Structure 1
Amino acid sequence: MAVDALKARIPAYAKDIKLNLSNIFQSTALSESQVWGAALAAALATRNAEVIGAVAEDAAGKLSAEEQQAAKAAAAIMAMNNIYYRSVHLLSNKEYGKMPARLRMNIIANPGADKVDFELWSLAVSAINGCGMCLDAHEREVLAKGVSKEGVQDALRIAGVIHAVAAVLDGEAALPAEQQAAA
């Protein structure tokens, strides 16, 4: 498993991250495809090539080609939407929230995978990108479509752990060689 190789790269000071990475793929509240789609979408949101490669390699054995494309699409559309809607929310001038976004978002209506899964994967990406408006909107959608609060929590845990793995690996790569932690 490529994720196992990724775990081996996590230094000792980030042992909790490594342990959590071992656990996030065993959800009792989400299906296997929901878990791996959330992990793939979250990995793409981190922009870390090593994390993306490892998760994508393992996800390929768990997701159909259509589900893989939908997870990628969730990461792509949320990269745009999270910036736009977070900005609209944070601006003091609330007039922007009343204006039409005028952004193409057709993929949301027809993602190529189960709509609830796509919404769940969008939720995970929105957590990484820090958009409260999008988090609220996607949480409402998945709860209305039957995902439990534990399922929402699992998607958020997946996003948090995948993001932390990328942050640790990026941090280690940025340190001078003599300061990098031994694995």
Structure 2
Amino acid sequence: MSIDALRDLLPAYAKDISLNLSSLANETVLNDQQKWGCFLASAHAIGIAPVVKAVEAQAATVLTPEAMTAAKAAAAIMGMNNIYYRSLHLMKNQEYTTLPARLRMNVLANPGVTKMDFELWSTAVSAINGCGACMDAHEGELRKHGVANTQVQAALRIASVVHAASRIIASEAALAG
């Protein structure tokens, strides 16, 4: 399966999503590792089987096994961190922000790809999971290291379109089954 096969799964009412998948697959603002890592991390963050399978198949033609693992690790660690830090951000009692997280996050120190690629993927996943605190933290790191705002925007665009495609495919499956 590939991005084109994923596009074929989308109903006619989602034509804009299909066209956006196509244009983002051909995006040149990001290098191939950054782009397909964003696609893969986003798909794994959402977890809709046909989307994960299609994106993983396409990403495997471009990414090294280490980069594939790192993109999945970004989805995994952000799945935990986004809930924890979003909760701290939303709670009125700021005492919780002074307590140590006491959650293992070793992958952040050595993700298996460049720190900036991992930060980019983490930003995309944080957008999907709706954690403003994490989005600000990761975007800040990217900007400190010279990553252009157009590159961050490209990661956010990928996350939003993968999210939309995933929700459409899941809702259509609900109707069919």
**TM-score of Structure 1 vs Structure 2, range by shorter chain:** over 0.9
- Look up the match of 1:17: 17
After superposition, residues 75-90 of structure 1 pair within 5 angstroms as 75-90=75-90
Please report how far the alpha carbon of residue 29 of structure 1 lies from its aligned counterpart in structure 2 after TM superposition: 2.2
Q: Is 2:23 aligned against 1:47?
A: no
- Look up the match of 2:131: 131
* Contact 1:33–1:62 (CA under 8 A) maintained in structure 2: yes
- Look up the match of 1:150: 150
- Look up the match of 1:116: 116
Structure 1 spans left out of the alignment, 5+ residues: 178-183
Q: Per the alignment, do residues 89 and 61 of structure 1 end up closer, same or farther by CA in structure 2, a change over 3 Å counting? A: same
For 1:56, the aligned partner's letter is E
For 1:121, the aligned partner's letter is W
Q: Per the alignment, do residues 170 and 130 of structure 1 end up closer, same or farther by CA in structure 2, a change over 3 Å counting? A: same
Question: Could you tell me how far apart the structure 1 residues matched to 2:38 and 2:176 are?
Answer: 33
Residue 25 of structure 2: SS of its match in structure 1? coil
- Look up the match of 1:172: 172
Question: Could you tell me how far apart the structure 1 residues matched to 2:162 and 2:173 are?
Answer: 17
Number of equivalenced pairs? 177
- Look up the match of 2:97: 97
For 2:31, the aligned partner's letter is S
Residue 56 of structure 2: SS of its match in structure 1? helix
Per-residue deviation, residues 60-99 of structure 1 (Å, max 9, x unmatched): 0110111111001000000000000001101111111111
Per-residue deviation, residues 107-161 of structure 1 (Å, max 9, x unmatched): 0010011110001000010010000000000001111122100000000000000
Please report how far the alpha carbon of residue 25 of structure 1 lies from its aligned counterpart in structure 2 after TM superposition: 2.0
Please report how far the alpha carbon of residue 28 of structure 1 lies from its aligned counterpart in structure 2 after TM superposition: 3.0
Identity over aligned pairs, percent: 58
Please report how far the alpha carbon of residue 176 of structure 1 lies from its aligned counterpart in structure 2 after TM superposition: 4.9
TM-score between both structures, scaled by the size of structure 1: 0.94
Question: Could you tell me how far apart the structure 2 residues matched to 1:27 and 1:176 are?
Answer: 33
Structure 2 spans left out of the alignment, 5+ residues: none
For 1:153, the aligned partner's letter is Q
Question: Could you tell me how far apart the structure 1 residues matched to 2:42 and 2:98 are?
Answer: 30
Structure 1 runs, 4 residues or longer, greater than 4 Å off: none
